Amino acid sequence: MTTATKTQGEPTKAELTWQEAKAKAQAMELEIAALIPKGTVVSIDQKKKGVLLSCNKTQHKWKGSTTITVADGTKINLIVKDIEAHYRANGLKVSAERDIDGKILVQIDPPAPGENYLVGGGVKPDEIWIDSGSPCFTLPEGIYPGGDF
């Protein structure tokens, strides 16, 4: 004979730790980088550390970045537009605009609160830059949000 337990109904979703949120954001950075044609990629530099920013009064998100160096002559705006089209086709909220230099900047907004990714031309003409923001999370008591994470 089985007995019913109070686990029926909506499962409670465990909140992410800052380490899990960081890992999720970094995995998405690499997923985006993998969309860049292999023959154009010279190197991928994912920063090992980032910073925490406030989501609201009680939660933070991890912010990091990855820089992809591409071969000279690579049409970065076309690659960024392809990345935009990929995530738009997969149902994510995506917006695009041009920066002051005329480079396309794409923002990808997954449904998790706080989570977002910016993709565009980097500081140098042979770079594609990915800036990430993890889903929001609550820091454990006693953890100071300043410094590198």
In this structure, are residues 134 and 24 in contact, taking their beta carbons and an 8 Å threshold? yes
| The pair of three-digit structure tokens given for residue 30, joined into one six-digit string | 């690499």
How far apart CA 116 and CA 118 sit, in angstroms, is 7
pLDDT, residue 102, reads 86
CA–CA gap between residue 129 and residue 99 (Å, rounded):
13
- Which domains are delineated in the chain? 41-133 (3.30.2030.30)
Which residue from 138, 148, 137, 134 is spatially nearest to 28, judged by alpha carbons?
134
Distance, CA of 12 to CA of 18 (rounded, Å): 19
Tokens at 139, concatenated:
């820091």
| pLDDT recorded at residue 13 | 52
Q: Which of 89, 97, 25 is nearest to 33 (CA)?
A: 25
Show Cβ contacts of residue 145 under 8 Å, excluding neighbours closer than 6 positions: 52, 54, 60, 139
DSSP class of 137: B
Q: Which two tokens stand for residue 86?
A: 């990929």
Q: Using one digit for the tens of pLDDT, what is the confidence trace for 76-110?
A: 999 999 999 999 999 999 999 998 888 899 999 99
1-42 confidence digits (pLDDT tens): 444 444 444 433 568 999 999 999 999 999 999 999 999 999
* Token duo for residue 92: 């994510």
Q: Compute the average pLDDT of residues 128-139.
A: 96
pTM of the model: 0.88
Give the Cα separation of 139 and 18 in Å (integer): 7
Q: Hey, what's the torsion of the CAs at 76, 78, 80, 85, to 10 degrees?
A: -170
